[in-house]
Copies of this chain bind each other. A is one copy, B any other.
Amino acid sequence: MSKRSESRAAGMSVRAGILVTGTEVLDGRVRDRNGPWLADRLRELGVDLGYLTIVGDRPQDMERALEFMADQGIDLVLTSGGLGPTADDLTAEVVGRFQGREMVLDEALADRIEMIVRPLLRRWPNIDPEAIRTGTRKQAMVPKGATVLEPVGTAPGLVVSPSVPTGGPTVVVLPGPPRELQPMWSAAVETQALREAIAGATVYEQRTMRMFGIPESEIAETLRQAEGRGIELGKLEVTTCLKRGEIEVVTRYEPDAAGVYEEFERLVSERHADTLFSTDGDTVDVQVAKMLRGNESRPPRTIAVAESCTGGELTSRLTGPAGASEYVKGGVVVYANDAKVALAGVDPRLIEEHGAVSEQVARALAEGVRARMDVDVGVGVTGVAGPDGGTAQKPVGLVWLSVAGPDSASITRSVNLPGGRADIRDRATTVALHMVRRLLLGESDG
């Protein structure tokens, strides 16, 4: 569904590439968190992302990847990583050479880094000061004429334009640790060099719809119907994906195609009324947080969880958002049967009669934790996450879930989830959040 290439051909859009460096990232030992974050920031700036490439700490591979991006007519390259004090951190040097700029020692910068590093060393009294100084001076070597971004950790960043005007992309060099990279990106955006590189970017609109409980092929069919109804899909870039059991439909368009998007959203709302749960991009996590949180007109609605097979993941997801302590009172992870009895007040006879993974026990967990923790909403989850413990009657992937609210409102369901242990735990958590959402919207089995 990509129609963006047309507008690019018309020379309207500014294109970027992201180059993540680090053998540990290429190897998969460290997950790249910067690429996705920078992709979001580029979108906000109206810059189109073409490529994200990960290379190891090998200068030659880094150089080749930069050349590739330059060959594709990329206007802006963002690099992350390779700015540390060790000898395998080579990004600044490689970018300097790529841009035709000599490396020079910035003495004042070296002093500022030293000022940052010194107090950190108090934690390690036996450290070698000479080792530190060598690292500091290495980090203060910068390409001549580059704009320096002040370090948030110990590594400075750089905005490096080509030494010859119109000689290729501007390169923004950022450190690897996300909490250093993120504030330094904000500083980079303010620099003259970066502003020049992205002058003329078209700011696209982006909207997200989310659905729960239908297969992806149904969205493909909706897109075909949209074409049949004369909705000009060519003006929209629609991508759909399946994520944690939910379908996410993201659409980008130039501001003048807003009317086309409205028509498309209306069609989706008609065809998928029962499964569409978000048209503003909010995830179910955010929706649940908003519904639980208090406001001027009502106090918070409190929640507590009694979870078995999800092992703490549901409580962890509920407590993820800032301010969750206002409405999450707590949770119990009740792996062992006696924990189900002791912590969530499940009647041991229910477990004997129906087994720990059963409708009755899921209900008892939800109601038990609701009563014991004196909250508005109780959630119970019990299932077989595997890989062992499955039987013919209760196979790996079977999960019973129950939510209990005020006035005897409750919803109880079972699901048979595919995948391995981690998938089952993750999906069951998502199902539970959707059940909490529906209960808070007033649905109930009874």
Using CB atoms and an 8 Å cutoff, list the residues of chain A in contact with chain B. Answer: 1-2, 4-5, 22-24, 26-32, 35-37, 39-40, 43, 49-58, 60-61, 64-65, 68, 72, 84-88, 120, 124, 127-128, 131-132, 135, 177, 179, 214-221, 223-224, 237-243, 248, 250, 304-305, 310-320, 322-325, 328-336, 338-339, 342-343, 372-373, 386-389, 418-423
Contact = CB atoms under 8 A, between A and B. Distances in A.
Contacts of A313: 312, 316
A428 to B, nearest CB: 12
Nearest to A386: B322
B86 A223 contact: yes
* Most chain B CB within a 10 A radius of its CB, from A318, A320, A335, A342: A335
Contact of A179 (B31, B317, B418): B418
Contacts of A335: 319, 324-325, 328-330
A299 to B, nearest CB: 14
Contacts of A22: 239, 241
| Complex A-B, nearest 9 residue pairs according to Cβ-Cβ distance, in ascending order | A28-B36, A311-B319, A312-B315, A312-B316, A330-B339, A24-B241, A312-B312, A131-B221, A331-B333
Contacts of A85: 216-217, 220
Contacts of A238: 88
Contacts of A2: 23, 56-58, 88
Nearest to A58: B2
A373 B339 contact: yes
B54 A52 contact: yes
Contacts of A322: 386-388, 421
A128 B225 CA distance: 12
Nearest to A59: B2
B124 A250 contact: no
A179 B55 CA distance: 25
Contact of A216 (B86, B240, B242, B339): B86
Contacts of A43: 27
A26 B1 contact: no
